[in-house]
């Protein structure tokens, strides 16, 4: 059993840190389990529904709220698929987070959130989420217009490929697995991965 830290790094600043247990790691994908109450570092970059400049984002260390989730990240691709469950344990749906391809770091993997998201219901209904945040990210210089267009194309590509179901909808973790910890110096970016060009 291996634990890793998934971080979102923007403009040389770690804005999000998520300890997770590795379920599967191949040349094609990384599958991780985020257990309930996992200690995380979570960003608050919104005010009145609008994004702040990155330098003004506040980071809060807190437990993961709600149920545990399975995250499937195709390596080399610009998205991650998160599997959600309802209180009764039934499968709730897939959350597609558009993000930079994972890059290895000394603590696990680093990426960058690209603001745009998709929500997929079990019946296949699709909702595009946070399109306004993607536009705001461009206006603030967090993402360039060209990068934003690439993000939309990646979302459209996911829908064209339609990887649902993923095969992980009924998976359950080993209850004996220990809760991961948020390591010391989680907020120190790795020099080789903190300079992703936004444009």
pTM, rounded to two decimals: 0.93
Q: pLDDT tens per residue, the chain (199 residues)?
A: 899 999 999 988 999 999 999 999 999 999 999 999 999 999 998 877 899 888 889 999 999 998 999 999 999 999 999 999 998 889 999 999 999 999 999 999 999 999 999 999 999 999 999 999 999 999 999 999 999 999 999 999 999 999 999 999 999 999 999 999 999 999 998 764 444 433 3
Beta strand extents in the chain (DSSP E only): 2-10, 13-25, 29-34, 39-44, 46-47, 50-51, 58-63, 69-74, 79-85, 91-99, 103-105, 108-111, 113-120, 126-129
Provide Rg for the chain, Cα atoms.
Answer: 16
What is the CATH code of the structural domain delimited by 2-161? Answer: 2.40.380.10
Domain residue ranges of the chain, discontinuous segments joined by +:
2-161
- What CA–CA distance (Å, rounded) separates 144 from 82? 26
């Amino acid at each position: 059993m291996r634990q890793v830290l998934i971080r979102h790094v923007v403009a040389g600043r770690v804005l999000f840190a998520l300890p997770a247990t590795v379920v599967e790691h191949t040349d094609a994908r990384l599958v991780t389990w985020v257990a309930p109450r996992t200690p995380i570092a979570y960003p608050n970059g919104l005010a009145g529904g609008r994004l702040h400049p990155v330098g003004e984002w506040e980071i809060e260390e807190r437990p993961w709220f709600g149920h545990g989730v399975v995250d499937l990240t195709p390596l080399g691709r610009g998205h991650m698929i998160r599997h959600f469950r309802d209180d009764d344990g039934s499968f709730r749906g897939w959350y597609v987070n558009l993000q930079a391809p994972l890059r290895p770091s000394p603590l696990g993997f680093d990426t960058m959130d690209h603001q745009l998201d998709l929500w997929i219901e079990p019946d296949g209904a699709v909702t595009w989420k946070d399109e306004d945040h993607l536009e705001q990210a461009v206006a603030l210089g967090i993402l360039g217009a060209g990068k934003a267009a690439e993000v939309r194309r990646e979302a459209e590509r996911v829908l064209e490929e339609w990887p649902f179901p993923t095969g992980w909808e009924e998976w359950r973790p080993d209850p004996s697995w220990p809760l991961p910890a948020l390591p010391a110096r989680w907020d120190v970016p790795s020099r080789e991965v903190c300079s992703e060009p936004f444009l």
